[in-house]
Structure 1
Amino acid sequence: MLRKIIPAFTAVARMSSATTGAKLKGKVAVVTASTDGIGLAIARRLAVDGASVVVSSRKEKNVQKTVSDLQKEGLTVSGVVCHVANAEHRKNLLNEAISKFGGIDILVSNAAVNPTVGHVLECEESSWDKIFDVNVKSAYMLSKEVLPHLRKRGGGSIVYISSIGGFHPFELLGAYSVSKTALLGLTKAAAQGLATENIRVNCVAPGIVETRFSSALHESESAREAALSAVPMRRLAQPHEIAGLVSFLCSEDASYITGETMIAAGGMPSRL
């Protein structure tokens, strides 16, 4: 039943997003890992809301397809290959925004990996290093590297994509969950020092979102049922439901919000 509802649900969401206006008009956004899943939904929504958006992926063909698809929708986008753990790639990503659109107002750090499954203390050192290199260090480095560009614009917005697992770790995603907890702390620490510069730093913690990245949690009927049993709303999130929250945090509607983590998890346990 749920699978029959989702296509119509998504169609309604796209119709509603198309009429949201241009609350990000004149803004330039950079979104990492944005050719699929949550990242693609964020890039599309920011562009629908008026921003010029730079998308990125580790694969050139994915970048080209996404740019083509979004441009066919009448959206203002560009794209570049970027593996966020590569310093030269990060530089190219920011330069793409500057050369094509004249500056940067928004950074959405969405890229993440999870090469291992198991209890946190069973994680191999090599997997731990990879997870923290991509999920945490790269978010930190991108934030440092984008900062001069945000200052040139007189302010801006940084949004990290964490996870409900950052509050309540998934037993089989131990190291990944800890990396997402680290982003909650990074959000708080970074926001404090930038608040007087009109640079807001916030975070979004999604629950279980139906994407290719999370397929192990929903691709089989048994896995799906187990996942749904933990969600009071009894359905998985769709990527556009996370994208709308990110767009809000990047807009003037959230002008007095910084250092916060917004949870979109269908009622899953998080915090008081």
Structure 2
Amino acid sequence: MAGTKAAELPRKAYEAELLRLQTELVKLQEWVRATGARLVVIFEGRDAAGKGGTIKRVTEHLNPRIARIAALPKPTERERTQWYFQRYAEHLPAAGEIVLFDRSWYNRAGVERVMGFCTKEEYQLFLRHCPIFERMLVESGILLRKYWFSVSDTEQQDRFRKRLEDPLRRWKLSPMDLESITHWEAYSRAKDEMLIHTDITDAPWYIVESDDKRRARLNMMAHLLSTVPYHDVPPQVLELPERPPSTGYERPPRDLQTYVPDHSASL
């Protein structure tokens, strides 16, 4: 249920701190690139908990060739026959890369468990294998960070309602999302059991209170930065060269090419 809500964070303060943290994330990215580090950040939580919005702000100013998002669709028939972690392992970073998982292998502990998309045996096997898998990642040198976005039932329902009424955000709402409302306690129990088995010293879970989206974004970004030992990497020295003198090139006549109509002139 919803708890006591903190005072709303003023937009001006939010935007100023967001820009500062995003600047630090760019520094983190350059450190990852220069040192060959490998960083994995997992975003988990209930539907409409604020994961997507936070990922958007984290990556807004990052180089997509270095920092990429892994948001896997439901497995194909072939992938269903693979080792469970196999399709996720394919998206792990190489040296100098950051991967942000918008949902991850923890699907098995959440939606698959609650909605019956896996067997009880597959679920129990996951709980045994997951800590081993993550220890292997950490021991191989991967920096693994796991965030659970916690949203109250009333706030989730309010966000669902707003998505339903907003044509720009209706695509975010699926029948599965709406069905999660009727399985609130089942998801709560599944989350609690997941944390018991997978909140390990080598790869702990960090809970992000996300009823206030602005605070959640800032808190998550600040925490991530505080857990990685990055430092400023001197930027490559670049100089803008002088444009050489013309050698007689002439642009082709406009009527030989097709231009986009000036829609803005009608505004």
TM-score range, shorter chain: 0.3 to 0.5
TM-score (norm 1): 0.43
Higher-Rg member (1/2): 2
TM-score (norm 2): 0.44
Which structure ranks higher in relative contact order (CA pairs < 8 Å, sequence separation ≥ 6)?
A: 2
